[in-house]
Amino acid sequence: MDSVISILVGYFLGSIPFGFLMGKLKGIDLRQEGSGNIGATNVLRILGKPSGITVLVFDVLKGAMACWLAPMVVEVILGTAAFDFQIVAITAGFSAVLGHNYTCWLRFKGGKGIATSAGVLLVLTPAGLAISVATFLLLLALTRIVSVGSLGAAVILPLGTWITGGRGALLGIATLMGLLAVYKHRVNIRRLLAGTEPQIKQKKEEESWESLCWGRERGGLRWLNLLLKTSIK
Domain count within the chain: 1
Kindly state the average pLDDT of the residues 211-224: 47
The closest of 6, 18, 42 to 120, measured between CA atoms, is 6
Kindly state the average pLDDT of the residues 29-38: 84
Instruction: Quote the CA–CA distance of 96 and 163 in Å, as a whole number.
Output: 25
Average pLDDT, the chain: 86
Digit-coded pLDDT (tens) for 112-155: 888 999 999 999 999 999 999 999 999 999 998 888 999 999 99
Domain that holds residue 60: 2-230
Residue 17 has pLDDT above 70, yes or no: yes
**8 A C-beta contact, residue 42 and residue 22:** no
Give the pLDDT band of residue 210 (cuts 50, 70, 90).
very low
- pLDDT at residue 199 in the model: 83
Lowest mean pLDDT among 62-71, 161-170, 204-213, 222-231: 204-213
Give the global pTM.
0.83
Distances 189 to 45, 150, 182, 186 between C-alpha atoms, Å = 22, 11, 9, 5
What's the start-to-end Cα distance of the chain, in Å?
37
**8 A C-beta contact, residue 55 and residue 40:** yes
Instruction: Quote the CA–CA distance of 222 and 215 in Å, as a whole number.
Output: 8
If you ran DSSP here, which 8-state letter would residue 230 be given?
G
- pLDDT at residue 177 in the model: 96
